[in-house]
Structure 1
Amino acid sequence: MKKLLFILTLSLLVFGGFSFKQIYFTPLYFEIPKGFPKPVYDFKNNPLTEEGFQLGRNLFYDPILSRDNTISCASCHLQQTGFTHVDHDLSHGIEGRIGTRNSMTLMNLAWSKTFMWDGGVNHLDVQAIHPITSEVEMDETLENVVSKLQRSEKYQHLFQDAFGTKKITGQLTLKAISQFVVMLTTSNSKYDKVLRKEEQFTDMEQKGYAVFKRNCASCHQEPLFTNDGFENNGLSIDTTLNDVGRMRITQKETDRQKFKVPTLRNVQFTFPYMHDGRFETLNEVIKHYNSGIEKSATLSPKLQQPMLLSDDERTELLAFLKTLTDKEFLFNPRFSFPR
């Protein structure tokens, strides 16, 4: 990642006269991987710096964001599993409270227009408000978070380094978190290396790629492996959760049971799968699309016919999906707990 040290000289009015203070920032340059489209995130409104990134990284891993200081963003978004959780179907919050959905992965967010399974958040810079204020997640208010941060000498210094001020605000807190998560780019899997002609698929992986392009690519579009849209993928309704998906936001019957199409990058490690975490393995997921789709009025037109893959084709598809694993991303020390 390219870095360049530059100096911003700020002129400050002090007691009727002028004094000059040099503020040093280290800008980060967001590199668009080869073959990726232009990001939708507007970096002009939140210029990336190393100091902002490190502040956001500290906030991401700090349970100070929750009411009882026990739950951090990382509690449900673990790096080694594609920044999601794997130890339970539904997200868990403070006091052992259980949510209603599986946590989504956090990767390649610079290309996302909407967030959450139902698209209830439309900008990355405000996404963190949802888990912070959710009763079953952090159960806190942004005002209280700011108050706690203001009392922390550590965060006074980190905000000074990142934004040139010790005056901590909710807006700056959210922007710092965005600076961290927007940098979570994954683009160095075997699939990517094959496209760059650095490696080659095995025969089984190549056949699986062909199966994928015939059956899955319309929703999980390359290279991001999502279309950033919402689809009803034929799951039976969980009568306990009774989750209507996108319809909860739009109130449109045509959006009933539609959920955001998740990326398949690093999918080998992002189990459990689906919005309610009902499938533990990729084999179960493939079996669903192969023969378990339930018909309904809003079922995606792309899924009107089951895949009906042979045993060999299912094995080949699984082999290809594993080529989407980017271990460099999953174990990158820059994204881990700050030491």
Structure 2
Amino acid sequence: MKKTVALLLIIGVFTFAFKATELLPFTVPANFPKPVYDFSKNPLTGEKIQLGRALFYDPILSRDNTISCASCHGQYSGFTHIDHALSHGIDNKTGTRNAPALMNLAWQTSFMWDGAVHHLDMQALAPMSNPDEMGETIAHVVQKLQQSNIYPALFYKAFGDSLVTGEHTLKAISQFMLTLVSADAKYDSVMRRQAHFTTQEENGYRLFQQNCGSCHKEPLFTNNQFENNGMPIDTTLNDFGRMKVTNDSANALQFKVPTLRNIEFSYPYMHDGRFKRLSEVLKHYTSGIRPSKTLSKQLQKPIVLSSNEKVDLIAFLLTLSDKNFLYNLDYSYPKNILHY
């Protein structure tokens, strides 16, 4: 295929451009650790990424062709949703959790709020098969894709075979999600010594390091662990988090620590979307924590912040907003592909 497709992710020295027929190197942002995803088992190519991008935005993945991945993971909100607390699915059903933000997935070792999925290539199966989300089977998805007007050709370009398979479908979606790298916020510019925090942001950064940094570890702003952050359980949802997966009471009320990158845009907050504002989140951590046997060790000691310190802390959190990520056209709806 002679047509050149360019995908530019400008993150300091982090830039890659590619011809669609070439394997893509995954260049790690200068201030990031080594990714944990094994690219040797699913090498990035332009065609596979574009196929995955089309699949991500196509409601064909759902039983009634009404819900796409992007329905709950909108780009402008950091690939989550902001119009409701809990995810919405087919038949106007409501899920039990807030949709996690999608970014920097190559550095994650588990997925979902409870860590039920351990590999990115398998992640899409969870919402696809959930009766309250997409309510579909991978076998029927494959059948629909094979019968469509556009996908056999896209699979041929991506995999050299117009036969659609479940493995190739999931790997293509994974490839697109791997490109969702956010590392060009003001914070990153400061770390690269290309910019400076204001006095207020600097003070907020100091407060963050003292009170939040152990769980929201820089530079990904998550430790990829599961913690009980002291929120009282929602008696309607009765969601005990990680314990649902492990059946171990030691994991009761533990949820995966979310990234704080683009937190300005990814409200509502917490696994059940109960807080709409960052000020509510800080109020919880300073005066709303409920003691329990599984409460995070990091929260055993009370967090004390003055009103001005809370304002400074929020000022720092706003430096984690990455407009280049949120408005990158390479991540947007592929209208040149999904034209039916």
Instruction: State the TM-score, normalized to the length of structure 1.
Output: 0.94
Q: Could you say which residue in structure 1 is the equivalent of 2:243?
A: 247
Query: Which residue identity lines up with residue 110 of structure 1 in the other structure?
Result: A
Q: Could you say which residue in structure 1 is the equivalent of 2:81?
A: 85
Deviations 1:188-226 (A, max 9, x none): 000000111111111000000000000000000000000
Instruction: State the TM-score, normalized to the length of structure 2.
Output: 0.93
- Structure 1: runs of 5 or more not aligned: 6-23
Query: Which residue identity lines up with residue 16 of structure 2 in the other structure?
Result: K
- Does 1:221 find its partner at 2:217? yes
Q: Could you say which residue in structure 1 is the equivalent of 2:285?
A: 289
C-alpha distance in structure 2 between counterparts of 1:77 and 1:3, whole Å = 25
Match of 1:38 among 31, 34, 39: 34
CA contact (8 A) 1:92 1:99 kept: yes
User: Which aligned segments of 4 or more residues in structure 1 are displaced greater than 3 angstroms?
Assistant: none
C-alpha distance in structure 1 between counterparts of 2:277 and 2:178, whole Å = 28
Match of 2:146 among 140, 147, 150: 150
Aligned residues: 321
CA contact (8 A) 2:31 2:192 kept: no
C-alpha distance in structure 1 between counterparts of 2:17 and 2:206, whole Å = 39
Q: Could you say which residue in structure 2 is the equivalent of 1:202?
A: 198
Match of 1:54 among 44, 50, 59: 50
C-alpha distance in structure 1 between counterparts of 2:182 and 2:236, whole Å = 35
- Does 1:108 find its partner at 2:122? no
Q: What is the aligned-residue identity percentage?
A: 58
Deviations 1:287-336 (A, max 9, x none): 10011100000000100122110011000000000000000000000000
Match of 1:2 among 13, 16, 23: 16
1:119-138 counterparts in 2 under 5 A?
119-138=115-134
C-alpha distance in structure 2 between counterparts of 1:3 and 1:266, whole Å = 24
Greater strand content: 1
CA contact (8 A) 1:92 1:136 kept: yes
1:253-268 counterparts in 2 under 5 A?
253-268=249-264
Question: Equivalent residue of 1:269, what SS?
Answer: coil
Question: Equivalent residue of 1:295, what SS?
Answer: coil
Deviations 1:127-155 (A, max 9, x none): 00000000000000000000000001310
RMSD between aligned residues? 0.8
Q: Could you say which residue in structure 1 is the equivalent of 2:5?
A: none
CA contact (8 A) 2:74 2:81 kept: yes
Q: Could you say which residue in structure 2 is the equivalent of 1:13?
A: none
